[in-house]
Every structure is written in C-alpha cells, then in structure tokens.
Amino acid sequence: MRREGSPWRGFNVVFFRELFDHLTSVRMLVLQFLVLLFGAAVVYFAAEQIRNTTAEDPFLFLRLFSPPGQTLLSFVVVLSILVPIIAIGLGFDSVNGEYNRRTMSRILAQPIYRDALLFGKFAAGIATLTIALITLWLLVMGFGLIRLGIPPNGEEIGRLGMFLLVTVFYAGVWLALAMLFSILFRSTATAALVALGLWLFLTLLWPAMAQLFGEAISPSDYRFTLLGLPTPATLAWQQGLARLSPGTLYGEVVVAMLSPDAQSMTTLLAQFQGRLGSPLPLGESILAAWPQMVGLIAGTIVLYVIGYICFQRQEVRA
C-alpha cells in the first residue's frame, strides 16, 4: 500500500534539535576534550620530531598528522581510535533512548514519518562529527603553521582535505552501526557494550584472525616462503578478509593520502608486480584508495538501511 505525504516532513526540525542536543551535551564535551588532549600530545611530539630533522622532505605538513616510523604516537592513530568511540557515543542511545524516555510514541503521533526521525538523527550525528573533526583539523593545521613556520603546499592541503573527508566517512560507519544497535536493543547499555565490543574485536582481533583465516583458506606456497615473499593468493585472501573491518579500510586510505611515498599494503602488491614505489601524485593516491573509500561509504549505507528496515517494522509500543 502506498503511503501519502513526504517522508522528509519534519526532517529539519529533528535534525536541528538533535544537533543542538549533541553540541551542548556533556557527553560530546568530554569526548572532544579527550581527542584534544591526546591530539595535542601527539601533534606536539610530531612537531618536535620534524623540527629536529634536517633532511629535505616535500611533505612536511603531512608528517604532522602521521610521523614516519610512528605506529602509535600519531594524530592519525589517535583519530582512528577515538573517532569510533565518539561515533558510538553519539549513536548508541539515539533510538532506544526515545523508547526508554517514552517519548517515541508521542513524537511519532505528530505528523512526521519514521524516516524523518531516523534520518534526522543520523544526519545530526554526522553533522556533529563533521563539525568536531573540522575543528580539530583546523587546530592541528594552525598549530603546524605556528610551530613549523611553513605553510602547507597545495597538494598537502588536498591530501589533508581528503583525509578529513574519509575520516567523516569512517565515523559514519560507526555511527550507523551504533544506531543499528540502538534500534535492535531496547537497553542503551546493551547497545553501547555490543557496539564497543564489536569495535574492539574488529580493531584488535580481526587483523590477526584475517591472517590466520587467509592462511587456512589458501595456504602459502613453499616456493614463495623460501624466497621470503608472501604468496600472492594468500596475501589477497588475508587482505580481503582484513578489509571487512572499517579500521583496515580507513588505515589503507590514510596511508595512501598522508604517506604518498610509503609502501602500503596496496603498493606492496604493485611492487611485487614489478612497479617501484615512488611518491604518487594526489590523483593517483585518490585512485589507489578509491575502492576503500567506496567501501566505507557503502558500509555506512548498508548499516543504515538495515537499521531503517528494522526501525520501520518495530512496534511503537515498548
């Protein structure tokens, strides 16, 4: 049966209220403070490291975000850990919170569709994250300008802009996931724990498990092992499995964007095929990371749609 009336009716009302709520909430303040604290520390160390090296480097500004040789103390790593936490923090009680406060049936008795409510909440979450990330990004850039004393060149700005955009997509995946759990579980605590648990699993355990599974599905060929090289088929399986984790996808895009000269997992294959790793131009980097970016966006859409369908079928009565 076709329903009449626009599904967008009331969207902007929900959007602006949720946005206002997020931006003024203590929760968001604490999370922002956390990012600022960690971010300030690592960016400071990165800047010191850059100031102490005298070697010529065409991408000095990028090093501020991901210092070479640093796997833990970099702004990128801090973001890749904290962005999921913020996204989950914003989304884990968005739908079940309305049920628990018993506001859901009252709000849905107003002339709006559920579409507007859910999408308004999602869009407000994304907007909040975008505002927070842009603020942080600008802070780091400003700090870099002052501390390093050189402006970033055009390509660096382009790369950092793409990095910012991809970070928003990455946050979107986790926000959609957290909202899905807030639809599936009536208890906010359960939704938060399941979301955080899945995040921990995908971030800490899954990369190692992907290695194991890849080896099990397609065992290494001893001819390659003898040469100290990974077997291409095994490597492909391991990479494919590891990329089920949004963290892996994000990491690969970040490497492509911020370390144009580094040998990422993608360039490792290229190198294996006989190409040499040399700094890629921005366009090439975007092309190289394009599948991963699409993967992040697609993941967000798929998770949102699953949540949308579940929400539409849900009974209003608690």
The site for another protein (CB under 8 A) is made up of: 1-6, 9-10, 13-14, 17, 101-103, 105-113, 315-317
Identify whether the C-beta of residue 132 lies closer than 8 Å to the C-beta of residue 141. no
Whose Cβ is closer to another protein: residue 2's or residue 223's?
2
Q: Which amino acid is at 172?
A: G
Whose Cβ is closer to another protein: residue 87's or residue 112's?
112
What radius of gyration, in Å, describes the C-alpha atoms of the chain?
A: 22
- Exposed/middle/buried for residue 176 (C-beta within 10 Å: 0-12, 13-18, 19+): buried
User: Least Å distance between CB 191 and another protein?
Assistant: 18
Whose Cβ is closer to another protein: residue 106's or residue 275's?
106
User: Least Å distance between CB 268 and another protein?
Assistant: 51
Give 67's contacts (C-beta < 8 A, 6+ positions apart): 45, 46, 49, 50, 73, 74
Identify whether the C-beta of residue 91 lies closer than 8 Å to the C-beta of residue 124. no
Helix axes 282-313, 114-148, angle to 10 degrees: 150
Whose Cβ is closer to another protein: residue 120's or residue 251's?
120
Whose Cβ is closer to another protein: residue 72's or residue 109's?
109
Instruction: Please state, in angstroms and rounded to a whole number, the distance separating the CA atoms of residues 310 and 318.
Output: 15
Instruction: Please state, in angstroms and rounded to a whole number, the distance separating the CA atoms of residues 263 and 153.
Output: 22
Whose Cβ is closer to another protein: residue 13's or residue 139's?
13
User: Least Å distance between CB 242 and another protein?
Assistant: 41
At 255 the three-state DSSP class reads helix
User: Least Å distance between CB 2 and another protein?
Assistant: 7
User: Least Å distance between CB 314 and another protein?
Assistant: 10
User: Least Å distance between CB 120 and another protein?
Assistant: 10
Give 304's contacts (C-beta < 8 A, 6+ positions apart): 122, 176, 179, 180
What is the residue-wise DSSP string for 274-308?
T----PPPHHHHHHHHHHHHHHHHHHHHHHHHHHH
Whose Cβ is closer to another protein: residue 305's or residue 316's?
316
Structure tokens at 152: 């970033």
Whose Cβ is closer to another protein: residue 101's or residue 275's?
101
User: Least Å distance between CB 48 and another protein?
Assistant: 43
User: Least Å distance between CB 13 and another protein?
Assistant: 4
